Chain A
Amino acid sequence: MNGAHDMGGMHGMGPIDTDPNDPLFHAEWERRAFAVTLALGFQGRWNIDTSRHARENRPPPEYLGSSYYELWFKAAEKLALDTGLITAEELATGVPQAVSDTPPPDPERVAAILRKGSSARLPDTVPPRFKAGDRVLVRDVTTPRHTRVPRYCRGRTGVIDRDHGVYIFPDTHAHGEGTKPQHCYSVRFTGRALWGDAAREKDTILVDLWDDYLEPAP
Chain B
Amino acid sequence: MAGHDHEHDHGEGGHAHAAPASPLARRVKALEALLVAKKLVDPASLDALIDTYEHKVGPRNGAQVVARAWVDPAYKARLLDDATAAIAEFGFTGRQGEDMVVVENTPRIHNLVVCTLCSCYPWPVLGLPPAWYKSAPYRSRAVLDPRGVLAEFGTEVADDVEVRVWDSTAELRYLVLPERPTGTEDMGEEELAGLVTRDSMIGVTRARSPAREEPA
Q: How large is the interface on B (under 10, 10 to 19, 20 to 34, 35 or more residues)?
A: 35 or more
Is there contact, CB below 8 Å, between A25 and B41?
no
A209 CB to nearest B CB, Å: 7
The answer to the question of B143 belonging to the interface, with a C-beta cut-off of 8 Å to chain A, is yes
Contacts of A5 in B (CB 8 A): 117-118
The answer to the question of A130 belonging to the interface, with a C-beta cut-off of 8 Å to chain B, is no
Q: Mark A90-134, 1 if CB is under 8 A from B, else 0.
A: 110011101110011111011101111111110000000000000
The answer to the question of B163 belonging to the interface, with a C-beta cut-off of 8 Å to chain A, is yes
Contact flag A6-B116 (CB < 8 Å), given A77-B31, A104-B41, A150-B167: yes
Contacts of B21 in A (CB 8 A): 29
Is there contact, CB below 8 Å, between A24 and B99?
no
Contacts of A110 in B (CB 8 A): 42, 45, 48-49
Is there contact, CB below 8 Å, between B25 and A18?
no
The answer to the question of A205 belonging to the interface, with a C-beta cut-off of 8 Å to chain B, is yes
Contact flag A100-B152 (CB < 8 Å), given A13-B141, A24-B53, A39-B49: no
- Taking a contact as CB atoms closer than 8 A, the residue among B37, B98, B128, B164 that contacts A24 in the complex is B128
- Taking a contact as CB atoms closer than 8 A, the residue among B50, B130, B140 that contacts A22 in the complex is B130
Is there contact, CB below 8 Å, between A16 and B49?
no
Q: How large is the interface on A (under 10, 10 to 19, 20 to 34, 35 or more residues)?
A: 35 or more
Contact flag A208-B163 (CB < 8 Å), given A27-B25, A31-B54: no
A152 to B34, CA, bound (A): 42
Contact flag A118-B95 (CB < 8 Å), given A31-B50, A99-B39, A167-B170: yes
Q: Which of A30-60 contact B (CB under 8 A)?
A: 31-36, 38-40, 42-43, 48, 52, 55-56
Is there contact, CB below 8 Å, between B1 and A114?
no
Chain A residue at minimum C-beta to C-beta distance from B37: A96
- Taking a contact as CB atoms closer than 8 A, the residue among A22, A86, A194, A202 that contacts B162 in the complex is A202
Contact flag A119-B171 (CB < 8 Å), given A36-B31, A194-B143, A195-B144: yes
- Taking a contact as CB atoms closer than 8 A, the residue among A10, A27, A73 that contacts B17 in the complex is A27
Q: Mark B117-136, 1 if CB is under 8 A from A, else 0.
A: 11100001001101110111
- Taking a contact as CB atoms closer than 8 A, the residue among A6, A20, A34 that contacts B199 in the complex is A20
Chain A residue at minimum C-beta to C-beta distance from B214: A20
- Taking a contact as CB atoms closer than 8 A, the residue among A39, A115, A206 that contacts B165 in the complex is A206
The answer to the question of B30 belonging to the interface, with a C-beta cut-off of 8 Å to chain A, is yes
The answer to the question of B216 belonging to the interface, with a C-beta cut-off of 8 Å to chain A, is yes
Is there contact, CB below 8 Å, between B45 and A106?
yes
A98 to B33, CA, bound (A): 14
The answer to the question of B172 belonging to the interface, with a C-beta cut-off of 8 Å to chain A, is yes
Is there contact, CB below 8 Å, between B93 and A115?
yes
B5 CB to nearest A CB, Å: 11
The answer to the question of B197 belonging to the interface, with a C-beta cut-off of 8 Å to chain A, is yes
Q: Which of B48, B52, B97: most chain A CB closer than 10 A?
A: B48
Can you list 27 residue pairs at the A/B interface with Cβ under 8 Å?
A: A7-B140, A8-B143, A10-B144, A13-B135, A16-B135, A16-B149, A21-B1, A23-B2, A35-B50, A36-B28, A68-B135, A94-B30, A94-B33, A99-B37, A104-B40, A106-B45, A110-B45, A113-B95, A114-B52, A115-B93, A116-B94, A121-B99, A164-B101, A200-B147, A204-B164, A205-B167, A206-B164
Binding site for B on A (CB under 8 A): 5-11, 13-29, 31-36, 38-40, 42-43, 48, 52, 55-56, 64, 68, 70, 73, 76-77, 80, 85-86, 90-91, 94-96, 98-100, 103-107, 109-111, 113-121, 148-150, 152, 164, 167-168, 170, 184, 186, 194-195, 198-200, 202-210
